[in-house]
Amino acid sequence: VVVEHDPQVMMNADRIIDMGPGSGEQGGSIVFDGTPAQILEAESLTGLYLKGRLRVDTSLSRVPEEAFRSWLTVKGAREHNLKNIDVSFPLGAISVVTGVSGSGKSTLVGDILVPALERSLGKAVACGDFDEIIGRSRISEVMFVDQSAVGKTTRSNPVSYVDAFGPIRTLFAGVPLARDRGYKPGDFSFNSGAGRCPTCQGAGFERVEMQFLSDVFLRCPDCDGTRYRAEIREVTINLDGRREVSVADVLEMTVDQACQYFRAEREIVRRLKPLQDVGLGYVKLGQPVSTLSGGEAQR
């Protein structure tokens, strides 16, 4: 059994099981089950793309070669098997480095290009052997996205990953009831502090060890899975004039709902926006990162 998006692998399978119809809450059903020949006639999204009745439109955003104005050039790259090569990457464009396994792609990008740029931005990192990198003054930030896990703990979730929870907690600490009671932003954290449920330590569930079976997670009976003490949940905000919302309610919002709800709070929206941009608008703010799919975690 192979989990795979690659059309070549799919079309060479003996049987295809297609899941969907959408992502997250909109997924979870089998939308097609049959042979590769049959899926070409199916109405599932996968079938429509395989047959070519739907296609990814790449024409709009492609940068023509003559429009490349500035470049990033690595000179004398010679880490591992690299043969003292010079490579230029156009800026403001998408470049692909390809080649057979073991040919030096990861060494060039992961061991030289990325750490060399990080170094020039003041980060102390180990870097492979090369002479110089030209054009780096045009780079203000480096982001290396690979397939490694993004903290596979039940404590990490989308809202904390993009640092949007800080300004949200500050918002709660600022309402009159919170100020009367002397609450600080830290009291609205579920990872530490006095505001989290003492029974489950803010996890929302309790781990029950089963002697011969894998552990079972049970909804915490004291906070009913909300992660917080009842007093903390009494503190509410009302940004849309319709509903009083507690910090526990915020963690239940999807990214799309939160962007709408906090639309007047620019800093919060600015931090949540990247999640929306990569198509994760349907993910809940408080959903543990450990429950995201491999592709979702990577994005």
Closest approach of Cβ 232 to Zn ion, in Å?
11
Question: How far is residue 289 CA from its own chain's centroid?
Answer: 9
CA–CA gap between residue 124 and residue 118 (Å, rounded): 8
Give the residue from 282, 284, 285, 288 showing the smallest Cα distance to 200: 288
Burial class from Cβ neighbours inside 10 Å (0-12, 13-18, 19+) for residue 48 reads middle
Residue placing its CB nearer to Zn ion in the complex, 206 or 267: 206
Q: Give the E-state strand segments of 238-282 in sequence order.
A: 245-246
Q: Tell me whether residue 43 or residue 222 sits nearer to Zn ion (CB atom).
A: 222
CB of 225 to Zn ion, least distance (A): 7
User: Minimal distance in Å, beta carbon 223 to Zn ion?
Assistant: 3
Compute the least distance from the CB of residue 179 to Zn ion, in Å: 25
Q: Closest CB to Zn ion among 234 and 277?
A: 234
For Zn ion, the closer CB: 199 or 238: 199
Distance in Å, CB of 247 to Zn ion, minimum: 14
Measured between alpha carbons, how far is 171 from 189 in angstroms, rounded to an integer? 12
Question: Site residues (CB under 5 A) for Zn ion?
Answer: 197, 199-200, 220, 222-223
Residue nearer to Zn ion on the CB measure, 220 or 283: 220
Strand 205-208 versus strand 132-134 pairing type: unpaired
